[in-house]
A = this chain, B = another copy of it.
């Protein structure tokens, strides 16, 4: 597999954690020294391994936020609907 470098320039938040401690996170990541992009993917408990995910540009994240603001999302039990 091609060698690549990455740097998590901003850990924005955790979306979930599974039973094995892997976390699905929204981060800002610079790949191979390029300008950082938003990124949603799973990480091993110690952060050394990553799963499949998707990079998201600023414009795409803006569009995603617009979509989510139009959606009525059912809240997990103890939270208000968003």
**CB pair A54 B24 closer than 8 Å:** yes
Q: How far is the CA of A67 from the CA of B13 in the complex (A)?
A: 7
Instruction: Report the bound CA distance from A16 to B74 in whole Å.
Output: 26
Chain A: interface residue count, which band?
A: 20 to 34
Whether, in the assembled complex, A75 has its beta carbon less than 8 Å from a beta carbon of chain B, the answer is yes
Chain A 54-69 interface mask (CB, 8 Å, partner B; 1/0): 1011111111111111
Q: In whole Å, how far is A13's beta carbon from the nearest beta carbon of chain B?
A: 4
What residues on B are CB-neighbors of A13 within 8 Å? 63, 67
Decide if B67 touches A12 in the complex (CB within 8 Å).
Answer: yes
Task: Give, as a whole number of angstroms, the nearest-CB distance from A62 to chain B.
Answer: 5
Question: CA of A56 to CA of B71 in the docked complex: distance in angstroms?
Answer: 15
